[in-house]
């Protein structure tokens, strides 16, 4: 009898904890809840990565020099799902700060955006090098690499161009990749056959017609320069 009572109390406790978690999620702003809970978000991401895989592998077949092919891929909300950070900041009534973001990165708790693991695996198998070009600060490189490793999406040949300072814009780093200059001097110029990101700033300007061909844009309603 006593054991049944204890089991009942434990069951009730677990039920209440689960209920609180569900209610907490339901109260989230729609943008965060959409990323975390909706079938639409998962389906859109998986669909886009399948399209990107087909398009990029098609380009591999048509390129005469296949020794230096690369894809330039953003990290946050493209490879890494940071919606838990957004949940925690919202629940605390706080907004983004660089310090809190750095703390989050060092926790190495970001998840994966749906479909990205399969995409990265497919392009790597064809000899396409992955360049992670992100506005994460360069001093957070090691926890970023470890987070990717824990998620099973880090490869020894991956290249990282994270941000050094406020003048180190993505445009600057994209040019380093294609020209083989700056941090890419030892690697040499790469032939970029695809870009994947969640913000327009993740892509070279003036390439509107390349979306769906070379440029692939993921949905991210949580933050951006709108």
Please write the tens of the pLDDT for every residue from 108-126.
999 999 999 999 999 999 9
Buried b (16+ CB within 10 A) or exposed e, 154-176: beeebbbbbbeeeebebeebbeb
Is 74 within a domain? yes
pLDDT value, residue 18: 45
pLDDT value, residue 151: 98
pLDDT value, residue 25: 62
Is 73 within a domain? yes
Is 207 within a domain? yes
Buried b (16+ CB within 10 A) or exposed e, 91-122: eeeeeeeeeebeebbeebebebbbbbeebbeb
Is 155 in a helix, a strand, or coil? coil
3-state helix, strand, coil in the chain (%, to 5): 50, 15, 30
Alpha carbons within 13 angstroms on the beta-carbon side of residue 195 total: 23
Beta strands in the chain (DSSP E): 69-73, 80-81, 111-112, 129-137, 159-163, 191-197, 215-217
User: Torsions phi, psi of 139, nearest 5?
Assistant: -70, -10
Is 89 within a domain? yes
pLDDT value, residue 10: 45
Domain extent, residue 11, equals 1-26
User: Tokens representing 154?
Assistant: 């880090």
Residue numbers of the chain with a pLDDT score lower than 70: 1-26
Q: Which residues contact 90 (CB under 8 A, 6 or more apart)?
A: 28, 29, 32
* Whether 18 and 63 share a structural domain: no
Output the pTM of the full model. 0.88
pLDDT value, residue 24: 54
- Tell me how long the chain is: 226
Is 226 within a domain? no
Is 106 within a domain? yes
């Amino acid at each position: 009898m006593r054991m049944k009572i204890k089991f009942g109390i434990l069951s009730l406790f677990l039920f209440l904890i689960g209920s609180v978690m569900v209610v907490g999620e339901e109260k989230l702003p729609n943008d965060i809840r959409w990323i975390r809970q909706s079938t639409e978000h998962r389906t859109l991401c998986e669909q886009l990565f399948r399209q990107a895989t087909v398009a990029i592998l098609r380009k591999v077949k048509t390129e005469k020099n296949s020794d230096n092919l690369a894809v330039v891929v953003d990290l946050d909300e493209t490879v890494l799902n940071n919606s838990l950070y957004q949940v925690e900041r919202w629940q605390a009534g706080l907004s983004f700060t660089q310090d809190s973001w750095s703390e989050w990165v060092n926790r190495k708790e970001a998840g994966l955006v749906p479909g990205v693991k399969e995409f990265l695996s497919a392009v790597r198998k064809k000899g396409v090098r992955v360049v992670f070009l992100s506005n994460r600060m360069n001093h957070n490189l090691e926890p970023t690499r470890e987070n990717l490793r824990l998620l099973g999406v880090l490869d020894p040949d991956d290249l990282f161009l994270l941000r050094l300072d406020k003048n180190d814009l993505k445009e600057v780093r994209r040019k380093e990749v294609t020209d083989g200059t700056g941090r890419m001097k030892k690697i040499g110029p790469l032939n970029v056959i695809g870009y994947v990101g969640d913000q327009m700033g993740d892509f070279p300007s003036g390439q509107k017609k390349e979306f769906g061909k070379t440029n692939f844009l993921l949905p991210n309603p949580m933050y951006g320069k709108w």
